[in-house]
Chain A
């Protein structure tokens, strides 16, 4: 789950990390009041949206007086950045930067641990740095049973600074940020850039924190910050019914049991020249209620011309699945052609039950894919 920069800054501040005070504003007049409160010569106006690349999109501007501030705020509010509409801006003191650094904790699949990532190339797109100059990124795996002891924090800080005073200050920052990461079950806690100001102070200028969805149950305050997009609302609604759903935009609706098989089904539709409408994993079992709910979800997508149901009967036997499908479709009224591919335990009995019905039956995934693509044309 993502949160906004200003929310991440508040979280950093609550862990004693060096963040300047900033205001969040939803209109020009609020922004002017914030500007007056700040009472500094130069302020920064930053769009608050759940996506990167705000600067390049024109969503981050400096203002040296009230006239400029009004202009920038008016321009940035309601701007569309990669499909996200800006409904609030952050107003903060502009900092004179001597040098910029990159700091993050992230879950690393390879070492199966949290990794502290550091670079002297701060303020840039870190993925670009990783691609072009990987030697400029330092990675330190953290032992979860130990955390970040002083020596390790110091060793890490020496990667960024040579001056021992700055090293000590930064080492503390690394330890506090790790505490935040673990306390909140983050999957990424990134400060980019961490800067050394002209006055010799260390500050976090921008922050990005994402959280592990599986752990939100134990962080109700963080979960409350969730601001789903329209698409995410649909996905969340599906999740509450025990489905995983992702909208894709094609014409062939898919209903599959299991995530891997659901992905493979989408791929196969594409392989045979069709366009999948969605990813939909209805989970292990496939009882009639679930099938009805899943069909409602698929049919709410007006682009769907054909529905492909691909069920592998494992623990649930194919004949039970077939009975469930028949029961479900006795309650669903639709003229959309349905292709069913049923394989696994008791598949012959299952298919026999579906013979002679309006369903288009297929034995293999390939056959089902071809049939669905044909019917969509």
Chain B
């Protein structure tokens, strides 16, 4: 098993005719992801690499029975795309787009919840269940099927950690990039719960960074609900206060959200924190 996506995933790509949408569609398809369709208003009836393009998500869902959507549309249109997917009955919506206004995400997130769907992102690399399905832009070659669940706020740092896991013999059940914005969909708590309940996941790597207090809440959640080994890395110990470190959500504001506080929160509940990303595999192995 894995979480969120697997061989039953039927994916549509919103913005399939765009440059990024097209490029990553072919990558996902080549990996074996079941890409059943795409949307691009006004281009219905065309096809991209043999994948049918529809004008609306509703039409795409009716025709293809898609249950998952990945969004590559530009930021000003991302809210609309997320809401369109939710309204059409898509159950898992993954928004890759970077730079979406926060209040747009707040509104879309609320609507997606009302419709009983789940959101990942925006500003995220997506997720992958190795050898089953890849939804997003992660470099599939570094992943290997296995039993470690990965949750991360970052892109390349996730790859760094996964690369270390893979080369040290720890494959992954599912790896999820939750996104670097202040407000995103699924986060630590929901994903920790899913990994805890997933029989094929035996350990969890959590990659956090400065900004907000989600890591502190995750630490509390782990201490109360997670029995599987967890190892953590927190990026941004050297980040100066008040400065956004690339990700919109990576900012220490009013002295809150520092790496030191987050590390202390995990250590206080006995969750080991790696000093550098390469230590994560050994921290997990020693506890398995």
Q: Which residues of A contact B (CB under 8 A)?
A: 107, 109-110, 112-114, 127, 143-145, 182, 185, 187, 212-215, 217-218, 244, 246, 248, 256-264, 266-271, 276, 279, 281, 284, 312-315, 343-345, 364-366
CA distance A214 to B104 in the complex (A): 10
**B284 at interface by CB-CB < 8 Å:** no
Report, nearest first, the 6 A-B pairs whose CB atoms are least far apart.
Answer: A260-B154, A259-B246, A258-B156, A260-B157, A314-B139, A215-B101
Known: A246-B240, A259-B247. A315 touches B27 (CB 8 A): yes
**Most chain B beta-carbon neighbours within 10 Å: one of A127, A145, A212, A267:** A267
* A304 CB to nearest chain B CB (Å): 16
| Distance to closest chain A CB from B212 (angstroms) | 4
Q: Which residues of A contact B42 (CB under 8 A)?
A: none
Contact pick for B237, options A187, A258, A270, CB 8 Å? A270
Q: Is B51 an interface residue (CB 8 A)?
A: no
Candidates B27, B213, B239, B254; contact of A127 at CB < 8 Å: B254
Chain A hits for B103, CB < 8 A? 107, 114, 144, 182, 185, 212, 215
Q: Is B276 an interface residue (CB 8 A)?
A: yes
Beta-carbon contact of A214 and B75 below 8 Å: yes
Partner of A260, one of B104, B183, B209, B217: B209
CA distance A343 to B156 in the complex (A): 11
Please measure, in the bound complex, the distance between the C-alpha atom of A113 and the C-alpha atom of B102, giving whole angstroms: 9
- CA distance in complex: A110, B114 (Å): 18
Binds A, one of B1-9, B29-37, B158-166, B222-230: B158-166
* Docked-complex contact A264 and B157, CB < 8 angstroms: yes
Contact of A268 among B158, B244, B259, B276 (CB under 8 A): B276
Closest to B98 in A: A214
Interface size bucket, B side? 35 or more
Known A109-B212, A262-B246; further 17 A-B contacts with Cβ < 8 A? A107-B106, A109-B182, A109-B249, A110-B213, A145-B110, A212-B101, A215-B101, A217-B76, A246-B240, A259-B247, A260-B155, A261-B156, A264-B235, A266-B239, A279-B246, A312-B163, A315-B137
Give A266 to B180 CA distance when docked, in angstroms: 18
Partner of B180, one of A212, A260, A314, A366: A260
Q: Does the CB pair B101–A214 fall under 8 Å?
A: yes
Q: Are B239 and A279 in contact (CB under 8 A)?
A: yes
The answer, among A113, A144, A267, for a CB contact under 8 Å with B238, is A267
Residues on B with beta carbons closer than 8 Å to the beta carbon of A260:
152-158, 180, 207, 209, 235, 246-247
Q: Kindly identify, within residues 93 to 136 of chain B, every residue whose CB is under 8 Å from any CB belonging to chain A.
A: 99-107, 109-111, 114
Inter-chain contacts of B105 with A (CB < 8 A): 112
Asked if B236 CB lies within 8 Å of chain A CBs, one says yes
- A366: chain B residues at CB < 8 Å are 276, 278
Q: Are A263 and B235 in contact (CB under 8 A)?
A: yes
On whether the beta carbons of A214 and B278 are closer than 8 Å, the reply is: no
- Specify which of B27, B210, B238, B246 is in contact with A244 (CB 8 Å cutoff): B246
B144 CB → nearest A CB, Å: 14
* CB neighbours of B75 from chain A (8 A): 214
Choose among A248, A268, A313, A315 the residue with the greatest number of B CB atoms under 10 Å from its CB.
Answer: A315
Q: How far is the CA of A114 from the CA of B105 in the complex (A)?
A: 11
Closest-CB distance, B108 to chain A (whole angstroms): 9
On whether the beta carbons of B76 and A264 are closer than 8 Å, the reply is no
B89 contacts partner chain A, Cβ-Cβ < 8 Å = no
Alpha-carbon separation in the docked complex, A267 to B255 (Å):
18
CB–CB B236/A314 < 8 A: no
CB < 8 Å neighbour of A263 from B182, B214, B249, B250: B250
Q: A248-B240, A314-B139 are in contact. Are A112 and B159 (CB under 8 A)?
A: no
A271 to B103, CA, bound (A): 38
What's the minimum C-beta distance from A341 to chain B, rounded to whole angstroms?
Answer: 10
Tell me if B146 counts as interface (CB < 8 A to partner A): no
**Complex contact B209–A263 (CB within 8 A):** yes
| Cα–Cα, bound, A268→B249 (Å) | 21
A-B contact pairs, 19 of them (CB 8 A): A110-B217, A114-B103, A185-B102, A212-B103, A214-B75, A215-B103, A248-B240, A259-B154, A260-B153, A260-B158, A260-B180, A263-B236, A263-B238, A263-B250, A267-B237, A276-B238, A314-B139, A314-B142, A344-B142
Collect the chain A residues with CB atoms within 8 Å of residue B106's CB.
107, 112-114, 144
Cβ of A248 and Cβ of B180 under 8 Å apart? no
* B196-239 vs A, Cβ < 8 Å mask (1 yes, 0 no): 00000000000101101110010000000000000001011111
CA distance A257 to B236 in the complex (A): 15
The residue among B99, B101, B103, B244 with the most chain A CB atoms within 10 A of its own CB is: B103
Choose from A212, A257, A270 the contact partner of B102 (Cβ within 8 Å). A212
B182 contacts A244, CB within 8 Å?
no
Find chain B residues with CB under 8 A from A145 CB. 107, 110-111, 114
Query: Please, how many angstroms separate the alpha-carbon atoms of A247 and B99 in the complex?
Result: 22
Q: Of A213, A264, A345, which is within 8 A of B160 by CB?
A: A264
Is B171 an interface residue, CB under 8 A from the partner? no
Q: Once the chains bind, are B210 and A263 in contact (CB under 8 Å)? A: yes
| B183 contacts across to A, CB distance below 8 A | 107, 109, 112
When distances are taken between beta carbons in the complex, the residues of chain A under 8 Å from B82 are: none
Is B138 an interface residue when CB atoms closer than 8 A count as contact? yes
Residues of B within 8 A of A182 (CB): 103
Nearest Cβ distance between residue A25 and chain B, in whole angstroms?
28
List residues of chain B with CB within 8 A of the CB of A215.
Answer: 101-104
Question: Measured between alpha carbons, how far is A144 from B106 in the docked complex, in Å?
Answer: 7
- B210, B244, B255, B276, most chain A CB atoms within 10 A: B276
What residues of chain A lie closer than 8 Å to B238, measured between beta carbons? 248, 263, 266-267, 269-270, 276
B277 at the interface (CB under 8 A from A): yes
